[in-house]
Protein backbone atom coordinates (compact mmCIF):
# COMPACT_ATOMS: atom_id res chain seq x y z
CA UNK A 1 0.00 0.00 0.00
CA UNK A 2 2.86 2.38 0.74
CA UNK A 3 4.35 1.87 -2.73
CA UNK A 4 0.97 2.58 -4.31
CA UNK A 5 0.63 5.79 -2.30
CA UNK A 6 4.04 6.93 -3.48
CA UNK A 7 3.15 6.26 -7.10
CA UNK A 8 -0.21 7.95 -6.77
CA UNK A 9 1.24 11.17 -5.42
CA UNK A 10 4.53 11.57 -7.28
CA UNK A 11 4.21 13.97 -10.18
CA UNK A 12 0.61 14.98 -9.55
CA UNK A 13 1.21 18.71 -9.33
CA UNK A 14 3.72 18.73 -12.18
CA UNK A 15 1.09 17.03 -14.33
CA UNK A 16 -1.47 19.66 -13.34
CA UNK A 17 0.85 22.56 -14.15
CA UNK A 18 1.75 21.06 -17.53
CA UNK A 19 -1.95 20.53 -18.24
CA UNK A 20 -2.46 24.24 -17.49
CA UNK A 21 0.12 25.15 -20.13
CA UNK A 22 -1.49 22.74 -22.59
CA UNK A 23 -4.98 24.13 -21.99
CA UNK A 24 -3.79 27.72 -22.36
CA UNK A 25 -1.91 26.81 -25.54
CA UNK A 26 -5.01 25.21 -27.06
CA UNK A 27 -7.01 28.31 -26.14
CA UNK A 28 -4.44 30.59 -27.80
CA UNK A 29 -4.29 28.39 -30.92
CA UNK A 30 -7.95 27.60 -31.48
CA UNK A 31 -9.77 30.14 -29.27
CA UNK A 32 -13.26 29.15 -28.13
CA UNK A 33 -15.34 26.39 -29.67
CA UNK A 34 -18.51 27.39 -31.55
CA UNK A 35 -21.55 27.75 -29.28
CA UNK A 36 -23.16 24.73 -30.94
CA UNK A 37 -20.54 22.40 -29.43
CA UNK A 38 -19.14 24.37 -26.49
CA UNK A 39 -19.93 22.79 -23.08
CA UNK A 40 -20.24 26.26 -21.53
CA UNK A 41 -22.93 27.24 -24.03
CA UNK A 42 -24.81 24.04 -23.24
CA UNK A 43 -24.49 24.84 -19.54
CA UNK A 44 -25.86 28.32 -20.14
CA UNK A 45 -28.88 26.88 -21.96
CA UNK A 46 -29.43 24.45 -19.09
CA UNK A 47 -29.36 27.25 -16.51
CA UNK A 48 -31.70 29.39 -18.60
CA UNK A 49 -34.15 26.48 -18.58
CA UNK A 50 -33.63 25.99 -14.83
CA UNK A 51 -34.24 29.68 -14.14
CA UNK A 52 -37.53 29.59 -16.04
CA UNK A 53 -38.70 26.64 -13.94
CA UNK A 54 -37.72 27.79 -10.45
CA UNK A 55 -37.42 31.58 -10.61
CA UNK A 56 -38.85 33.46 -7.63
CA UNK A 57 -37.71 36.79 -6.21
CA UNK A 58 -36.29 35.02 -3.16
CA UNK A 59 -32.84 33.99 -1.99
CA UNK A 60 -34.11 30.45 -1.41
CA UNK A 61 -34.95 29.92 -5.06
CA UNK A 62 -31.62 31.50 -5.98
CA UNK A 63 -29.80 29.03 -3.73
CA UNK A 64 -31.63 26.18 -5.44
CA UNK A 65 -30.56 27.60 -8.79
CA UNK A 66 -26.92 27.80 -7.66
CA UNK A 67 -27.05 24.25 -6.28
CA UNK A 68 -28.43 22.93 -9.56
CA UNK A 69 -25.61 24.58 -11.50
CA UNK A 70 -22.89 23.27 -9.20
CA UNK A 71 -24.42 19.79 -9.34
CA UNK A 72 -24.42 19.94 -13.15
CA UNK A 73 -20.73 20.91 -13.23
CA UNK A 74 -19.81 18.10 -10.82
CA UNK A 75 -21.81 15.63 -12.91
CA UNK A 76 -19.89 16.69 -16.01
CA UNK A 77 -16.60 16.36 -14.14
CA UNK A 78 -17.53 12.91 -12.88
CA UNK A 79 -18.63 11.79 -16.33
CA UNK A 80 -15.40 12.97 -17.95
CA UNK A 81 -13.34 11.21 -15.28
CA UNK A 82 -15.20 7.94 -15.81
CA UNK A 83 -14.75 8.07 -19.57
CA UNK A 84 -11.02 8.68 -19.27
CA UNK A 85 -10.66 6.12 -16.46
CA UNK A 86 -11.99 3.37 -18.74
CA UNK A 87 -9.11 3.98 -21.16
CA UNK A 88 -6.45 3.41 -18.49
CA UNK A 89 -4.42 0.26 -18.08
CA UNK A 90 -4.35 -1.44 -14.69
CA UNK A 91 -1.00 0.14 -13.83
CA UNK A 92 -2.14 3.60 -14.93
CA UNK A 93 -5.16 3.42 -12.64
CA UNK A 94 -2.78 3.41 -9.66
CA UNK A 95 -1.17 6.77 -10.41
CA UNK A 96 -1.02 9.76 -12.70
CA UNK A 97 -1.29 8.99 -16.41
CA UNK A 98 -1.51 10.62 -19.86
CA UNK A 99 -5.30 10.41 -19.56
CA UNK A 100 -5.22 12.59 -16.44
CA UNK A 101 -3.15 15.14 -18.33
CA UNK A 102 -5.50 15.22 -21.33
CA UNK A 103 -8.58 15.43 -19.11
CA UNK A 104 -7.33 18.45 -17.17
CA UNK A 105 -5.93 20.16 -20.27
CA UNK A 106 -9.37 19.92 -21.89
CA UNK A 107 -10.97 21.23 -18.69
CA UNK A 108 -8.65 24.25 -18.65
CA UNK A 109 -9.35 24.88 -22.33
CA UNK A 110 -13.12 24.74 -21.83
CA UNK A 111 -12.93 27.03 -18.78
CA UNK A 112 -10.56 29.73 -20.04
CA UNK A 113 -11.34 32.57 -22.39
CA UNK A 114 -8.11 34.52 -22.60
CA UNK A 115 -7.67 34.32 -26.38
CA UNK A 116 -11.20 35.52 -27.06
CA UNK A 117 -10.85 38.30 -24.47
CA UNK A 118 -7.62 39.59 -25.98
CA UNK A 119 -8.92 39.27 -29.55
CA UNK A 120 -12.06 41.33 -28.89
CA UNK A 121 -10.05 43.94 -26.98
CA UNK A 122 -7.51 44.20 -29.82
CA UNK A 123 -10.28 44.56 -32.40
CA UNK A 124 -11.98 47.27 -30.37
CA UNK A 125 -8.69 49.15 -30.02
CA UNK A 126 -8.19 48.92 -33.77
CA UNK A 127 -11.57 50.50 -34.45
CA UNK A 128 -10.81 53.32 -32.03
CA UNK A 129 -7.44 54.03 -33.64
CA UNK A 130 -9.15 54.21 -37.03
CA UNK A 131 -11.78 56.63 -35.72
CA UNK A 132 -14.63 54.12 -36.07
CA UNK A 133 -16.41 54.70 -32.76
CA UNK A 134 -19.63 53.00 -33.90
CA UNK A 135 -17.87 49.70 -34.65
CA UNK A 136 -15.85 49.99 -31.43
CA UNK A 137 -19.05 50.30 -29.40
CA UNK A 138 -20.53 47.29 -31.19
CA UNK A 139 -17.43 45.16 -30.60
CA UNK A 140 -17.27 46.25 -26.95
CA UNK A 141 -20.79 44.91 -26.35
CA UNK A 142 -19.31 41.41 -26.70
CA UNK A 143 -17.27 42.03 -23.55
CA UNK A 144 -19.39 44.10 -21.18
CA UNK A 145 -22.92 44.21 -19.84
CA UNK A 146 -23.10 48.00 -19.64
CA UNK A 147 -24.86 50.10 -22.28
CA UNK A 148 -22.33 50.99 -24.98
CA UNK A 149 -24.37 53.11 -27.42
CA UNK A 150 -23.67 56.44 -25.70
CA UNK A 151 -20.00 55.92 -24.84
CA UNK A 152 -17.36 58.28 -26.15
CA UNK A 153 -13.80 57.24 -27.01
CA UNK A 154 -12.62 57.48 -23.40
CA UNK A 155 -15.69 55.59 -22.20
CA UNK A 156 -15.12 52.74 -24.65
CA UNK A 157 -11.42 52.63 -23.83
CA UNK A 158 -12.08 52.55 -20.10
CA UNK A 159 -14.67 49.80 -20.48
CA UNK A 160 -12.29 47.62 -22.50
CA UNK A 161 -9.43 47.97 -20.01
CA UNK A 162 -11.70 47.31 -17.04
CA UNK A 163 -13.04 44.21 -18.76
CA UNK A 164 -9.55 42.97 -19.66
CA UNK A 165 -8.46 43.40 -16.04
CA UNK A 166 -11.47 41.71 -14.46
CA UNK A 167 -11.66 38.89 -16.99
CA UNK A 168 -7.96 38.19 -16.60
CA UNK A 169 -8.98 36.93 -13.17
CA UNK A 170 -12.34 35.36 -14.00
CA UNK A 171 -11.46 33.70 -17.30
CA UNK A 172 -7.74 32.96 -16.99
CA UNK A 173 -6.10 33.15 -13.56
CA UNK A 174 -8.93 31.47 -11.63
CA UNK A 175 -8.97 28.41 -13.95
CA UNK A 176 -5.18 28.16 -13.58
CA UNK A 177 -5.47 28.39 -9.80
CA UNK A 178 -8.17 25.74 -9.49
CA UNK A 179 -6.60 23.40 -12.04
CA UNK A 180 -3.36 23.46 -10.08
CA UNK A 181 -4.87 23.24 -6.61
CA UNK A 182 -7.69 20.78 -7.20
CA UNK A 183 -7.90 19.39 -10.72
CA UNK A 184 -10.83 19.13 -13.11
CA UNK A 185 -13.74 19.35 -10.63
CA UNK A 186 -12.86 22.76 -9.09
CA UNK A 187 -12.12 24.16 -12.56
CA UNK A 188 -15.60 23.27 -13.82
CA UNK A 189 -17.32 24.35 -10.61
CA UNK A 190 -15.64 27.75 -10.79
CA UNK A 191 -16.61 28.20 -14.42
CA UNK A 192 -20.20 27.20 -13.62
CA UNK A 193 -20.46 29.66 -10.72
CA UNK A 194 -18.84 32.46 -12.72
CA UNK A 195 -21.28 31.85 -15.57
CA UNK A 196 -24.27 31.88 -13.21
CA UNK A 197 -23.04 35.13 -11.68
CA UNK A 198 -22.85 36.64 -15.17
CA UNK A 199 -26.41 35.47 -15.84
CA UNK A 200 -28.20 36.40 -12.62
CA UNK A 201 -25.75 38.21 -10.32
CA UNK A 202 -27.25 41.66 -10.81
CA UNK A 203 -28.26 44.15 -8.14
CA UNK A 204 -31.63 45.08 -9.60
CA UNK A 205 -35.26 44.37 -8.81
CA UNK A 206 -35.32 41.14 -10.80
CA UNK A 207 -32.14 39.52 -9.50
CA UNK A 208 -30.97 41.16 -6.26
CA UNK A 209 -32.50 38.28 -4.27
CA UNK A 210 -32.47 35.45 -6.80
CA UNK A 211 -28.86 36.09 -7.83
CA UNK A 212 -27.56 36.80 -4.33
CA UNK A 213 -25.90 33.44 -3.65
CA UNK A 214 -24.49 33.09 -7.18
CA UNK A 215 -22.83 36.50 -6.84
CA UNK A 216 -21.48 35.82 -3.34
CA UNK A 217 -20.17 32.39 -4.31
CA UNK A 218 -18.38 33.93 -7.28
CA UNK A 219 -16.84 36.55 -4.97
CA UNK A 220 -15.51 33.81 -2.70
CA UNK A 221 -14.08 31.67 -5.51
CA UNK A 222 -12.30 34.62 -7.15
CA UNK A 223 -10.94 36.11 -3.93
CA UNK A 224 -7.52 34.44 -4.01
CA UNK A 225 -7.07 34.47 -7.82
CA UNK A 226 -7.71 38.23 -7.90
CA UNK A 227 -5.06 38.90 -5.31
CA UNK A 228 -2.56 36.55 -6.92
CA UNK A 229 -3.09 38.45 -10.16
CA UNK A 230 -2.55 41.77 -8.39
CA UNK A 231 0.69 40.44 -6.88
CA UNK A 232 1.79 39.39 -10.37
CA UNK A 233 1.14 42.93 -11.61
CA UNK A 234 3.38 44.24 -8.84
CA UNK A 235 6.07 41.77 -9.86
CA UNK A 236 5.89 42.92 -13.48
CA UNK A 237 6.22 46.58 -12.40
CA UNK A 238 8.66 46.36 -9.46
CA UNK A 239 9.21 50.12 -9.50
CA UNK A 240 5.48 50.66 -8.89
CA UNK A 241 4.93 47.94 -6.28
CA UNK A 242 4.39 50.42 -3.45
CA UNK A 243 2.11 52.64 -5.49
CA UNK A 244 0.00 49.71 -6.68
CA UNK A 245 -0.29 48.36 -3.14
CA UNK A 246 -1.36 51.71 -1.71
CA UNK A 247 -3.84 52.28 -4.52
CA UNK A 248 -5.44 48.88 -3.85
CA UNK A 249 -5.50 49.56 -0.13
CA UNK A 250 -7.06 53.00 -0.46
CA UNK A 251 -9.30 52.69 -3.52
CA UNK A 252 -10.32 49.10 -4.26
CA UNK A 253 -12.66 48.80 -1.26
CA UNK A 254 -15.03 51.39 -2.73
CA UNK A 255 -15.68 49.20 -5.78
CA UNK A 256 -18.89 47.11 -5.64
CA UNK A 257 -16.88 43.98 -6.49
CA UNK A 258 -14.36 42.87 -3.83
CA UNK A 259 -12.28 41.27 -6.57
CA UNK A 260 -12.90 43.51 -9.57
CA UNK A 261 -11.83 46.52 -7.54
CA UNK A 262 -8.50 44.90 -6.64
CA UNK A 263 -7.43 43.90 -10.13
CA UNK A 264 -8.80 47.00 -11.88
CA UNK A 265 -6.94 49.22 -9.42
CA UNK A 266 -3.74 47.22 -9.95
CA UNK A 267 -4.00 47.59 -13.74
CA UNK A 268 -4.85 51.29 -13.54
CA UNK A 269 -1.99 52.23 -11.24
CA UNK A 270 0.54 50.05 -13.04
CA UNK A 271 -0.40 51.50 -16.45
CA UNK A 272 -0.49 55.08 -15.15
CA UNK A 273 -4.12 55.65 -16.05
CA UNK A 274 -7.41 56.29 -14.31
CA UNK A 275 -10.40 53.94 -14.44
CA UNK A 276 -13.86 54.15 -12.91
CA UNK A 277 -16.69 56.61 -13.41
CA UNK A 278 -20.34 56.31 -14.39
CA UNK A 279 -21.53 53.09 -16.07
CA UNK A 280 -25.03 52.73 -17.51
CA UNK A 281 -26.89 49.42 -17.22
CA UNK A 282 -30.32 49.11 -18.86
CA UNK A 283 -30.51 52.92 -19.02
CA UNK A 284 -29.79 53.21 -15.27
CA UNK A 285 -26.52 55.03 -14.38
CA UNK A 286 -24.30 53.57 -11.67
CA UNK A 287 -21.28 55.33 -10.20
CA UNK A 288 -17.96 53.54 -9.87
CA UNK A 289 -15.07 54.85 -7.76
CA UNK A 290 -12.05 56.42 -9.40
CA UNK A 291 -9.25 53.84 -9.58
CA UNK A 292 -5.63 54.75 -10.18
CA UNK A 293 -3.95 58.14 -10.04
CA UNK A 294 -3.02 58.69 -13.68
CA UNK A 295 -4.53 60.31 -16.75
CA UNK A 296 -7.68 59.27 -18.64
CA UNK A 297 -7.01 56.17 -20.77
CA UNK A 298 -6.21 56.34 -24.48
CA UNK A 299 -6.82 53.71 -27.17
CA UNK A 300 -3.12 52.79 -27.07
CA UNK A 301 -3.52 51.84 -23.42
CA UNK A 302 -5.74 48.93 -24.45
CA UNK A 303 -2.70 47.31 -26.09
CA UNK A 304 -0.74 47.83 -22.88
CA UNK A 305 -3.54 46.28 -20.81
CA UNK A 306 -3.66 43.24 -23.12
CA UNK A 307 0.12 42.85 -22.86
CA UNK A 308 -0.10 43.10 -19.08
CA UNK A 309 -2.87 40.50 -18.97
CA UNK A 310 -0.74 38.09 -21.02
CA UNK A 311 2.30 38.68 -18.81
CA UNK A 312 0.26 38.04 -15.65
CA UNK A 313 -1.04 34.81 -17.18
CA UNK A 314 2.40 33.58 -18.24
CA UNK A 315 4.11 34.43 -14.96
CA UNK A 316 1.51 32.71 -12.81
CA UNK A 317 1.53 29.66 -15.10
CA UNK A 318 5.33 29.45 -14.80
CA UNK A 319 5.10 29.97 -11.05
CA UNK A 320 2.63 27.09 -10.81
CA UNK A 321 5.17 24.81 -12.51
CA UNK A 322 8.00 25.90 -10.23
CA UNK A 323 5.78 25.38 -7.20
CA UNK A 324 4.68 21.99 -8.58
CA UNK A 325 8.27 20.78 -8.90
CA UNK A 326 8.93 21.81 -5.31
CA UNK A 327 5.78 20.17 -3.91
CA UNK A 328 6.24 16.91 -5.79
CA UNK A 329 9.91 16.73 -4.86
CA UNK A 330 9.22 17.32 -1.17
CA UNK A 331 6.28 14.91 -1.00
CA UNK A 332 8.13 12.24 -2.97
CA UNK A 333 11.08 12.53 -0.59
CA UNK A 334 8.83 12.25 2.46
CA UNK A 335 7.04 9.21 1.07
CA UNK A 336 10.37 7.61 0.18
CA UNK A 337 11.54 8.07 3.76
CA UNK A 338 8.34 6.42 5.05
CA UNK A 339 8.78 3.46 2.72
CA UNK A 340 12.39 2.99 3.81
CA UNK A 341 11.31 2.97 7.43
Q: What is the pTM of this model?
A: 0.91
Query: What is the DSSP track for 208-234?
Result: TTTTHHHHHHHHHHTHHHHHHHHHHHH
Q: Whole-angstrom Cα distance, residue 105 to residue 85? A: 15
Whether 97 shows a pLDDT value over 80: the answer reads: no
Count of H helices and E strands in the chain?
15, 2
State the pLDDT confidence band at 184, using cuts at 50, 70 and 90. Answer: very high
Check if the beta carbon of residue 168 is closer than 8 Å to that of residue 260.
Answer: no
Mean pLDDT of the chain: 92
Identify the pLDDT of residue 100.
Answer: 87
Domain boundaries, given as residue ranges, for the chain: 2-340
More confident residue, 39 or 227: 227
How does 67-92 read in b/e, with b if 16+ C-beta sit within 10 Å?
Answer: ebbbebbeebbeebbeebeeeeeeee
Check if the beta carbon of residue 66 is closer than 8 Å to that of residue 214.
Answer: yes
Percentage of the chain beyond pLDDT 90 is 81
Check if the beta carbon of residue 159 is closer than 8 Å to that of residue 146.
Answer: yes
The angle formed by the CA atoms of residues 289, 293 and 299, to the nearest 5 degrees, is 90
Residues in contact with 257: Cβ distance below 8 Å, sequence separation at least 6, in sequence order:
166, 219
Check if the beta carbon of residue 66 is closer than 8 Å to that of residue 193.
Answer: yes
- Phi/psi of residue 275, each to 5°? -115, 180
Task: Count CB neighbours of 242 within 10 A.
Answer: 10
Q: Whole-angstrom Cα distance, residue 337 to residue 341? A: 6
42-81 confidence digits (pLDDT tens)? 999 999 999 999 999 999 999 999 999 999 999 999 998 8
Beta strand spans in the chain (E): 278-281, 284-287
Report which of 6, 189, 20 is spatially closest to residue 101, judged by C-alpha positions: 20
Whether 8 shows a pLDDT value over 50: the answer reads: no
Whether 6 shows a pLDDT value over 60: the answer reads: no
Q: Whole-angstrom Cα distance, residue 339 to residue 341? A: 5
Report which of 121, 114, 129 is spatially closest to residue 312, judged by C-alpha positions: 114
Check if the beta carbon of residue 228 is closer than 8 Å to that of residue 181.
Answer: no
257-288 confidence digits (pLDDT tens)? 999 999 999 999 999 999 999 999 888 899 99
Amino acid sequence: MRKQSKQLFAGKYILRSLAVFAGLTIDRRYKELPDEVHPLAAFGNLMNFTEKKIYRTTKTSGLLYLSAGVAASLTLSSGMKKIFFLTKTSSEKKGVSPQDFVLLALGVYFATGGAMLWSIAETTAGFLKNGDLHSARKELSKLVGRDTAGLDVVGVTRAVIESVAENTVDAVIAPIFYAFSGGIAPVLVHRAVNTMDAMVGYKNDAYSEFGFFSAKCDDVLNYLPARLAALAVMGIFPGKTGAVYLAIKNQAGAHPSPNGGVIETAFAEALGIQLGGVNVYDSIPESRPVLGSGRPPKAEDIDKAIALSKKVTFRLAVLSFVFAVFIDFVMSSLLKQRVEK
